[in-house]
Protein backbone atom coordinates (compact mmCIF):
# COMPACT_ATOMS: atom_id res chain seq x y z
CA UNK A 1 0.00 0.00 0.00
CA UNK A 2 2.79 2.38 1.05
CA UNK A 3 4.88 1.39 -1.97
CA UNK A 4 1.89 2.08 -4.20
CA UNK A 5 1.51 5.56 -2.66
CA UNK A 6 5.22 6.23 -3.17
CA UNK A 7 4.98 5.10 -6.83
CA UNK A 8 1.98 7.38 -7.37
CA UNK A 9 3.89 10.24 -5.77
CA UNK A 10 6.87 9.65 -8.09
CA UNK A 11 4.59 9.49 -11.13
CA UNK A 12 2.88 12.77 -10.13
CA UNK A 13 6.27 14.42 -9.55
CA UNK A 14 7.52 13.27 -12.98
CA UNK A 15 4.31 14.48 -14.66
CA UNK A 16 4.71 17.87 -13.00
CA UNK A 17 8.32 18.14 -14.16
CA UNK A 18 7.33 17.26 -17.75
CA UNK A 19 4.59 19.93 -17.72
CA UNK A 20 6.98 22.56 -16.28
CA UNK A 21 9.71 21.69 -18.81
CA UNK A 22 7.27 21.82 -21.73
CA UNK A 23 5.92 25.15 -20.50
CA UNK A 24 9.43 26.56 -20.21
CA UNK A 25 10.28 25.35 -23.72
CA UNK A 26 7.12 26.95 -25.17
CA UNK A 27 7.80 30.18 -23.28
CA UNK A 28 11.34 30.21 -24.68
CA UNK A 29 10.06 29.76 -28.24
CA UNK A 30 7.39 32.48 -27.76
CA UNK A 31 9.95 34.86 -26.28
CA UNK A 32 12.23 34.20 -29.26
CA UNK A 33 9.40 34.87 -31.70
CA UNK A 34 8.31 38.05 -29.92
CA UNK A 35 11.82 39.43 -29.79
CA UNK A 36 12.11 38.78 -33.51
CA UNK A 37 8.82 40.56 -34.25
CA UNK A 38 9.19 43.60 -31.97
CA UNK A 39 12.38 45.54 -32.63
CA UNK A 40 14.28 46.52 -29.52
CA UNK A 41 13.73 50.16 -28.61
CA UNK A 42 15.87 52.64 -26.78
CA UNK A 43 14.52 55.66 -25.02
CA UNK A 44 15.89 58.75 -23.30
CA UNK A 45 15.99 60.01 -19.74
CA UNK A 46 15.52 63.69 -20.69
CA UNK A 47 14.41 65.80 -23.65
CA UNK A 48 17.35 66.63 -25.93
CA UNK A 49 17.91 70.14 -27.33
CA UNK A 50 18.31 70.01 -31.13
CA UNK A 51 18.79 72.76 -33.71
CA UNK A 52 16.29 72.70 -36.59
CA UNK A 53 18.17 72.42 -39.89
CA UNK A 54 17.24 72.29 -43.57
CA UNK A 55 17.06 68.66 -44.73
CA UNK A 56 18.74 69.56 -48.05
CA UNK A 57 21.61 71.73 -46.85
CA UNK A 58 22.03 70.64 -43.23
CA UNK A 59 22.24 74.35 -42.33
CA UNK A 60 20.12 75.93 -39.57
CA UNK A 61 16.63 77.03 -40.55
CA UNK A 62 16.12 80.81 -40.49
CA UNK A 63 12.81 82.64 -40.24
CA UNK A 64 12.78 83.40 -43.97
CA UNK A 65 13.01 79.64 -44.66
CA UNK A 66 9.64 79.09 -42.98
CA UNK A 67 6.83 80.29 -45.24
CA UNK A 68 3.81 81.83 -43.50
CA UNK A 69 0.81 79.52 -44.03
CA UNK A 70 2.95 77.12 -46.05
CA UNK A 71 0.99 74.75 -48.25
CA UNK A 72 3.73 72.19 -47.70
CA UNK A 73 3.98 70.41 -44.35
CA UNK A 74 7.26 71.09 -42.56
CA UNK A 75 8.03 67.93 -40.60
CA UNK A 76 10.94 67.04 -38.32
CA UNK A 77 11.55 64.22 -35.84
CA UNK A 78 11.63 64.74 -32.06
CA UNK A 79 12.24 63.67 -29.31
CA UNK A 80 12.98 60.24 -30.83
CA UNK A 81 13.78 59.34 -34.41
CA UNK A 82 10.28 57.88 -34.89
CA UNK A 83 8.29 60.92 -33.73
CA UNK A 84 7.20 63.36 -36.50
CA UNK A 85 6.36 66.98 -35.56
CA UNK A 86 4.90 69.91 -37.46
CA UNK A 87 6.73 73.21 -37.77
CA UNK A 88 4.20 75.92 -38.65
CA UNK A 89 4.54 79.66 -39.14
CA UNK A 90 0.98 80.80 -38.48
CA UNK A 91 -0.68 83.58 -40.39
CA UNK A 92 -4.06 85.14 -41.08
CA UNK A 93 -5.94 85.05 -44.38
CA UNK A 94 -3.57 87.69 -45.78
CA UNK A 95 -0.49 85.69 -44.78
CA UNK A 96 0.45 88.15 -42.06
CA UNK A 97 2.16 86.53 -39.08
CA UNK A 98 -0.14 85.86 -36.13
CA UNK A 99 1.40 85.94 -32.66
CA UNK A 100 0.55 82.88 -30.58
CA UNK A 101 0.39 83.30 -26.80
CA UNK A 102 0.36 80.46 -24.30
CA UNK A 103 -2.96 79.73 -22.66
CA UNK A 104 -4.83 76.98 -20.78
CA UNK A 105 -5.88 74.06 -22.99
CA UNK A 106 -8.38 71.40 -21.89
CA UNK A 107 -7.88 67.72 -22.62
CA UNK A 108 -11.50 66.59 -23.22
CA UNK A 109 -10.74 62.95 -22.43
CA UNK A 110 -9.59 63.69 -18.89
CA UNK A 111 -10.62 67.25 -18.08
CA UNK A 112 -6.97 67.98 -17.34
CA UNK A 113 -5.68 71.43 -18.33
CA UNK A 114 -2.18 72.24 -19.55
CA UNK A 115 -0.52 75.52 -20.55
CA UNK A 116 0.20 75.61 -24.26
CA UNK A 117 3.53 76.56 -25.83
CA UNK A 118 3.85 80.18 -27.01
CA UNK A 119 4.89 81.00 -30.57
CA UNK A 120 8.52 82.01 -31.09
CA UNK A 121 10.51 83.88 -33.70
CA UNK A 122 10.57 87.61 -34.48
CA UNK A 123 6.77 87.70 -34.74
CA UNK A 124 5.89 85.03 -32.14
CA UNK A 125 4.22 83.06 -34.91
CA UNK A 126 6.35 79.90 -35.21
CA UNK A 127 4.82 76.94 -33.41
CA UNK A 128 5.18 73.18 -33.35
CA UNK A 129 3.30 70.06 -32.29
CA UNK A 130 3.37 66.32 -32.62
CA UNK A 131 2.28 65.36 -36.15
CA UNK A 132 0.78 62.05 -35.00
CA UNK A 133 -3.01 62.27 -34.78
CA UNK A 134 -4.19 61.71 -31.23
CA UNK A 135 -7.18 59.62 -32.39
CA UNK A 136 -5.56 56.55 -33.93
CA UNK A 137 -2.11 57.71 -34.96
CA UNK A 138 -2.32 58.84 -38.60
CA UNK A 139 0.72 60.84 -39.74
CA UNK A 140 1.46 63.44 -42.47
CA UNK A 141 0.50 64.07 -45.15
CA UNK A 142 -2.96 62.69 -44.31
CA UNK A 143 -2.93 64.96 -41.24
CA UNK A 144 -1.72 68.47 -42.03
CA UNK A 145 -2.26 72.22 -41.66
CA UNK A 146 -5.07 73.72 -43.72
CA UNK A 147 -4.32 77.38 -44.40
CA UNK A 148 -7.00 80.02 -43.59
CA UNK A 149 -9.99 79.73 -45.90
CA UNK A 150 -9.08 76.27 -47.25
CA UNK A 151 -12.10 73.96 -47.27
CA UNK A 152 -11.82 71.11 -44.79
CA UNK A 153 -13.31 67.81 -46.01
CA UNK A 154 -16.50 66.91 -44.17
CA UNK A 155 -16.52 70.15 -42.18
CA UNK A 156 -17.89 72.90 -44.44
CA UNK A 157 -18.92 75.07 -41.48
CA UNK A 158 -15.38 75.22 -40.14
CA UNK A 159 -14.37 77.53 -42.99
CA UNK A 160 -17.42 79.78 -42.94
CA UNK A 161 -17.50 79.93 -39.12
CA UNK A 162 -13.83 80.35 -38.51
CA UNK A 163 -13.96 83.93 -37.30
CA UNK A 164 -11.74 84.74 -34.42
CA UNK A 165 -13.86 86.52 -31.80
CA UNK A 166 -11.25 89.19 -31.13
CA UNK A 167 -10.39 90.49 -34.59
CA UNK A 168 -12.58 88.68 -37.08
CA UNK A 169 -9.65 87.06 -38.87
CA UNK A 170 -9.89 83.79 -40.74
CA UNK A 171 -7.80 81.01 -39.21
CA UNK A 172 -6.38 77.71 -40.38
CA UNK A 173 -6.65 74.28 -38.79
CA UNK A 174 -4.69 71.09 -38.45
CA UNK A 175 -7.01 68.39 -39.75
CA UNK A 176 -6.69 64.60 -40.05
CA UNK A 177 -8.39 63.01 -43.03
CA UNK A 178 -8.33 59.53 -41.53
CA UNK A 179 -11.49 60.08 -39.47
CA UNK A 180 -12.00 63.86 -39.32
CA UNK A 181 -10.24 65.10 -36.17
CA UNK A 182 -9.45 68.83 -36.21
CA UNK A 183 -7.06 70.81 -34.01
CA UNK A 184 -6.65 74.57 -33.41
CA UNK A 185 -3.01 75.64 -33.86
CA UNK A 186 -3.74 79.22 -32.64
CA UNK A 187 -4.88 77.82 -29.30
CA UNK A 188 -2.47 75.11 -28.23
CA UNK A 189 -3.63 72.60 -30.86
CA UNK A 190 -6.84 72.16 -28.85
CA UNK A 191 -9.54 69.77 -30.08
CA UNK A 192 -12.01 71.42 -32.50
CA UNK A 193 -13.74 68.31 -33.85
CA UNK A 194 -13.51 64.65 -32.81
CA UNK A 195 -13.25 61.78 -32.83
CA UNK A 196 -10.04 62.68 -31.03
CA UNK A 197 -10.46 63.58 -27.37
CA UNK A 198 -6.87 64.75 -26.92
CA UNK A 199 -5.14 67.91 -28.24
CA UNK A 200 -1.90 67.45 -30.15
CA UNK A 201 1.09 67.47 -27.80
CA UNK A 202 2.77 70.91 -28.07
CA UNK A 203 6.45 70.91 -28.95
CA UNK A 204 8.43 73.70 -27.27
CA UNK A 205 10.73 75.76 -29.47
CA UNK A 206 13.34 78.35 -28.57
CA UNK A 207 14.40 81.19 -30.86
CA UNK A 208 17.93 82.57 -30.93
CA UNK A 209 17.52 86.12 -32.24
CA UNK A 210 21.20 86.95 -32.82
CA UNK A 211 21.63 84.01 -35.20
CA UNK A 212 17.93 83.85 -36.26
CA UNK A 213 17.84 80.10 -35.58
CA UNK A 214 15.43 77.70 -33.91
CA UNK A 215 15.97 74.96 -31.34
CA UNK A 216 13.53 72.33 -30.10
CA UNK A 217 13.70 71.74 -26.36
CA UNK A 218 10.82 69.69 -24.95
CA UNK A 219 7.10 68.95 -25.11
CA UNK A 220 4.00 69.73 -23.08
CA UNK A 221 0.41 68.43 -23.05
CA UNK A 222 -0.81 64.88 -23.66
CA UNK A 223 1.63 62.06 -24.30
CA UNK A 224 2.46 61.42 -27.96
CA UNK A 225 -0.10 58.96 -29.38
CA UNK A 226 0.75 55.28 -28.96
CA UNK A 227 3.67 55.76 -26.57
CA UNK A 228 4.00 54.96 -22.85
CA UNK A 229 5.70 58.35 -22.45
CA UNK A 230 7.31 60.88 -24.79
CA UNK A 231 10.85 59.65 -24.13
CA UNK A 232 10.34 55.94 -24.78
CA UNK A 233 8.59 53.75 -27.32
CA UNK A 234 11.03 54.49 -30.12
CA UNK A 235 14.66 54.88 -31.07
CA UNK A 236 16.79 57.72 -29.74
CA UNK A 237 19.00 59.80 -32.02
CA UNK A 238 22.62 58.60 -31.95
CA UNK A 239 24.67 59.97 -29.08
CA UNK A 240 26.11 63.38 -29.91
CA UNK A 241 23.27 64.38 -32.29
CA UNK A 242 22.76 68.16 -32.15
CA UNK A 243 20.39 68.79 -35.06
CA UNK A 244 17.13 67.48 -36.53
CA UNK A 245 16.34 68.01 -40.24
CA UNK A 246 13.14 69.74 -41.34
CA UNK A 247 11.55 68.08 -44.39
CA UNK A 248 9.04 69.79 -46.68
CA UNK A 249 6.26 67.39 -47.61
CA UNK A 250 3.65 67.98 -50.32
CA UNK A 251 0.07 67.67 -49.14
CA UNK A 252 -3.28 67.42 -50.87
CA UNK A 253 -6.17 69.24 -49.23
S1 LIG B 1 -6.40 58.91 -36.84
FE2 LIG B 1 -6.76 61.02 -37.17
S3 LIG B 1 -8.91 61.17 -37.05
FE4 LIG B 1 -8.56 59.10 -36.68
Q: Looking at the structure, do residues 13 and 85 belong to the same domain, yes or no?
A: no
CA 196 to centroid of ligand 1, rounded, Å: 7
User: Which residue from 130, 131, 136 has its CB within 8 A of the most atoms of ligand 1, so it is best to mutate?
Assistant: 136
Q: Looking at the structure, do residues 152 and 112 belong to the same domain, yes or no?
A: yes
For residue 163, name the pLDDT band (cuts at 50, 70, 90).
low
For residue 161, name the pLDDT band (cuts at 50, 70, 90).
low
Ligand 1 atom closest to residue 176's alpha carbon, by position in its atom list: 2
Q: Looking at the structure, do residues 132 and 19 belong to the same domain, yes or no?
A: no
Q: Is the pLDDT of residue 97 over 70?
A: yes
Q: Looking at the structure, do residues 13 and 61 belong to the same domain, yes or no?
A: no
User: Which residue from 130, 132, 175, 196 has its CB within 8 A of the most atoms of ligand 1, so it is best to mutate?
Assistant: 196
pLDDT at 18: 45
Q: Looking at the structure, do residues 133 and 209 belong to the same domain, yes or no?
A: yes
Q: Looking at the structure, do residues 105 and 188 belong to the same domain, yes or no?
A: yes
Q: Looking at the structure, do residues 135 and 17 belong to the same domain, yes or no?
A: no
Query: For the residues of 13-27, what is the DSSP string, one character each?
Result: HHHHHHHHHHHHHHH
Q: Strands 173-176 and 243-250: what pairing?
A: unpaired
Residue 127's DSSP bridge partners are 88
CA 77 to centroid of ligand 1, rounded, Å: 20
pLDDT at 13: 44
Domain annotation covers residue 92: yes
Domain annotation covers residue 14: yes
Domain annotation covers residue 45: no
Q: Looking at the structure, do residues 55 and 34 belong to the same domain, yes or no?
A: no
Structural domains in the chain (count): 2
Q: Looking at the structure, do residues 30 and 90 belong to the same domain, yes or no?
A: no
Mean pLDDT over residues 223-242, rounded?
94
Residues 132, 225: Cα–Cα separation, whole Å: 6
pLDDT tens digit sequence for 115-150: 999 999 999 999 999 999 999 999 999 999 999 988
Tell me the residue range of the domain where 32 lies: 1-38
179 ligand 1 Cβ < 6 A:
yes
Q: Looking at the structure, do residues 34 and 151 belong to the same domain, yes or no?
A: no
Residues 59, 150: Cα–Cα separation, whole Å: 32
**Judging by beta carbons within 10 Å of its beta carbon (0-12, 13-18, 19+), is residue 164 exposed, middle or buried?**
middle
Q: Looking at the structure, do residues 10 and 59 belong to the same domain, yes or no?
A: no
Kindly report the pTM of this predicted structure.
Answer: 0.81
Domain annotation covers residue 44: no
Ligand 1 atom closest to residue 137's alpha carbon, by position in its atom list: 1
pLDDT tens digit sequence for 108-119: 999 999 999 999
For all residues of the chain together, what is the average pLDDT?
Answer: 85
Closest C-alpha residue for ligand 1 atom 1: 136
CA 169 to centroid of ligand 1, rounded, Å: 27
CATH of the domain at 144: 2.102.10.10
Amino acid sequence: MDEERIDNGKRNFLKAMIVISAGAAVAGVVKGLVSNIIPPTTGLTAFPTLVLVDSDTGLPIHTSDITVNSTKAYVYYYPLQNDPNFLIRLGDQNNNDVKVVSKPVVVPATGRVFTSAAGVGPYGSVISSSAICQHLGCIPPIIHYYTPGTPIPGHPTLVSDQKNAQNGMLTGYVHCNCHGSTYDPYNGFAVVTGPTAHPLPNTILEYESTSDTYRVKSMVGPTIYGKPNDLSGGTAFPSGTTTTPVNKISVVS
